[in-house]
Structure 1
Amino acid sequence: MRVGITGGFGFLGWHTSCRLQAVHGVEAVRLGRGDFADPERLAAALTGVDTVLHIAGINRADTEETVEQGNVDLAETLVEALRANDRPVDVVYANSVQADLNNAYGRGKAQAAGLLARSAHATGGHFADLLLPNLYGEHGRPGYNSFVATFAHEVAAGRTPTVSGDREIPLLHAQDAAAALIAAAGSDVRETIPAEAVRISRVLELFEEFYALYHQRGEVPDISTPLLRNLFNTYRAAAFPEMWPLSAQVHADNRGDLFETVRAHGGPGMAFMSTTLPGQKRGEHYHLHKVERFFVVKGEAEIELRQLFHDEVVRFRLSGDTPSFVDMPTLWVHNIRNVGDTELVTMFWADQLLDPVNPDQYPETIAQEASA
């Protein structure tokens, strides 16, 4: 199956591309502003595509008219490109719960849904209309994608944002939204995707707790529920890479050294050790949700990390002479390599018990995309 994603370089588009690759082994055709600026280029990019996940949209502009018409224009451009290919294509629309409201954004999204539905059915394809609530997750843009992204970046930077108009907001993690979009392919449905209501002030309170426990002391807060884990991973993305590495407090006496490796405040977890010979490495994978810690106990190590579908590689050097650790952010490929002359001893900790059937671990090399 070939899948095209409009808005493929945006927040939800990136999360959906990551999930398609990890869970389904599908490399999406990611479509951006440049494709929509050139109808022929867009039509060519969609050649051979079986399913289009239409995520591109406009939610901010100088005028309300621009917001409303902008979403209609995007749908019309996509319809023309699909018509040019003259073949059945299933369309899944990342619509908004505001589509049922009488505001500029909602009206634009609703009109776009009608255009896309008629086009998909006219060519013999299916149309799924998914109404999404407020989205949050790793690498959202502060001041743009959601208040959650704004709060995460502000708190991670040591600042205290203010809450105005405190109320409950339905929140859906971007990976859950991506899963719903992918699952809807090939169906005819109009569905509101459920979310969990959280008070704005509660989100800020949790981020401030993450800062105090995790950012300042390296302790893992209570992440015993999916919401807590997802908000924690959102915060970790905002704090990476500036907060790393952290060094443990070492208590030394005539018997040797003692230091803590993990202090967790709630939820499951498991720890394990490895030895790595000089020049060898471990890892070369990424996770969608798992929290994982690399703690160098003895020897010399280099940790490499790369965000999925990005080229830049972040590197940390750790030494057992100063026992220290780095936590792996979700959706970042990572490895650890012995760069010393002696054996490397590493302790690993993860918040999930190993499930061989669903390990939340997907193979990928650091260099694969960077060298492409």
Structure 2
Amino acid sequence: MKILVTGAKGFVGKNLVAELRNQGYKNILEYSRADDVSVLEDYAKQCDFVFHLAGVNRPQNTEEFLEGNFGFTETLLDLLKKNNNPSPIVFSSSIQAENDNPYGESKRAGEEAVINYGKEMDTEVFIYRLPNLFGKWSKPNYNTVVATFCHNIARDIDIRIDNPNAVLHLSYVDDVLKEFLEALKGNPTIENDICKIPVVYSITLGELATTINSFKESRKDIHIPDMSNELVKKLYSTYLSFLPEDKFDYDIKMNVDERGSFTELFRTPERGQVSINVSKPGITKGNHWHHTKNEKFLVVSGEGLIRFRKYDDDKVIEYKVSGDKLRVVDIPPGYTHSIVNVGENDLVTVMWVNECFNPEEPDTYYLEV
């Protein structure tokens, strides 16, 4: 199957082409604004399916709406008809097609042209009125406010919010791709003759700004956003895609002394925290127990001995651990425990605890093993 993608270098087009390749489609005909119309005519002869994504949404003057959205659509359809090619078409329209503004009118005109093509050529056409989209490879100050907020906040540039209570309806680009691939297979999601993206999120402009700002702060307070919230998870991925290329890394606090170091890697309110513990040869750390707090130790380098003793018992339990064979050791409540570096090199241990440390309620009590 040869698949024509117009607007192949744009936000959705670039993502779609990449995913089509991921899915094993090899004959992808990519057309973008920089290509000559003769290229489009050649593709119109060959293609078996069309994703018509090309269009304009922020032109310098309103006349370009009709030319870029309706005019180019007419050109594409005329070339398909000229070559007697009844390729099915996915047409990316907009929820703005429901409004009487220049952009909405140009999209509505494009929809009507595609519908007439489908009737004339007796082929399937899938018109998607897309909400505001967000995701990687989007452009700030062009595609979506999400892109603008992510770009600016990652660079300490002020953002403008005229109405924080304004409600946005958002779809994530990967959800759009899934639905487009269903249309390619002939299984689109349709409601009242218009195709739709099944997953749409609602959020106010103020909430969006607060959420994206929290992603920036998470690099300072080492908190991981709530990934059980699908919108937050997708917004966080989008934010990371906008990090400046010289700002992928960031510092975290290392607590260092003559015994080694202890560094908190990240915290989550729901899943506790993860830390990296480094012990010098011969050093013992721990010798404490917990009522409820529990931990998991994973030695990734060096040789260690984890020792346990139940609070009211004299019996000592020992586990030998090594970076040569990764094993997780659970640290149950009610057992005092320690970890000793018995090797010649640093002992590096990844430590997970089920709750973030609270100095007012540490649930940690000194007791030698």
In the superposition, the TM-score normalised over structure 1's length comes to 0.66
Q: Partner of 1:184 in structure 2?
A: 183
Cα distance, 1:82 vs structure 2: 1.4
Runs of 4+ in 1 over 4 A off after TM superposition: 265-271
Which structure is larger by alpha-carbon Rg, 1 or 2? 2
Matched, 1:228 2:228: no
* Counterpart secondary structure, 2:248: coil
Cα distance, 1:30 vs structure 2: 1.9
Deviates more, 1:232-241 or 1:254-263: 254-263
Cα distance in 2, alignment partners of residues 346 and 183 from structure 1: 46
Contact 1:97 1:192 in 2 (8 A): no
Cα distance in 2, alignment partners of residues 61 and 252 from structure 1: 56
Contact 1:218 1:246 in 2 (8 A): no
Q: Which amino acid aligns with 1:223?
A: M
Cα distance, 1:240 vs structure 2: 4.2
Q: Which amino acid aligns with 1:7?
A: G
* Counterpart secondary structure, 2:232: helix
Structure 1 pair 178–107 and aligned structure 2 pair: CA distance change class (3 A): same
State the percentage of identical aligned residues: 27
Q: Which amino acid aligns with 2:203?
A: V
Listed as ranges, the gaps of 5+ residues in structure 1 are 272-296, 299-344, 350-372
Q: 1:205 aligns with which of 210, 213, 218?
A: 210
Cα distance, 1:346 vs structure 2: 12
Q: Which amino acid aligns with 2:205?
A: I
Q: Partner of 1:258 in structure 2?
A: 262
Structure 1 pair 13–137 and aligned structure 2 pair: CA distance change class (3 A): same
Structure 1 pair 15–71 and aligned structure 2 pair: CA distance change class (3 A): same
Higher RCO by CA contacts (8 Å cutoff, separation 6 or greater): 1
Structure 1 pair 226–21 and aligned structure 2 pair: CA distance change class (3 A): farther
Q: Partner of 1:64 in structure 2?
A: 62
Q: Which amino acid aligns with 1:137?
A: G
Cα distance in 2, alignment partners of residues 247 and 264 from structure 1: 18
Cα distance in 1, alignment partners of residues 272 and 135 from structure 2: 21
Listed as ranges, the gaps of 5+ residues in structure 2 are 276-299, 302-347, 353-369
Contact 1:126 1:187 in 2 (8 A): no
* Counterpart secondary structure, 2:241: helix
Cα distance, 1:187 vs structure 2: 6.1
Superposed counterparts of 1:268-347, under 5 Å = none
Cα distance in 2, alignment partners of residues 3 and 54 from structure 1: 10
Number of equivalent positions:
275
Q: Which amino acid aligns with 1:210?
A: F
Q: Partner of 2:12 in structure 1?
A: 12
Cα distance in 2, alignment partners of residues 12 and 88 from structure 1: 24
> What is the alpha-carbon root mean square deviation over aligned residues?
3.0
Q: Which amino acid aligns with 1:75?
A: T
Structure 1 pair 254–66 and aligned structure 2 pair: CA distance change class (3 A): closer
Superposed counterparts of 1:1-372, under 5 Å = 1-22=1-22, 24-27=23-26, 28-35=28-35, 38-166=36-164, 167-185=166-184, 186=186, 189-194=193-198, 195-214=200-219, 216-266=220-270
Question: 1:89-128: CA deviations, max 9, x gaps?
Answer: 1101111111122111111111111212222343342101
* Counterpart secondary structure, 2:239: helix
Structure 1 pair 222–267 and aligned structure 2 pair: CA distance change class (3 A): farther
Cα distance, 1:60 vs structure 2: 1.9
Cα distance in 1, alignment partners of residues 102 and 248 from structure 2: 43
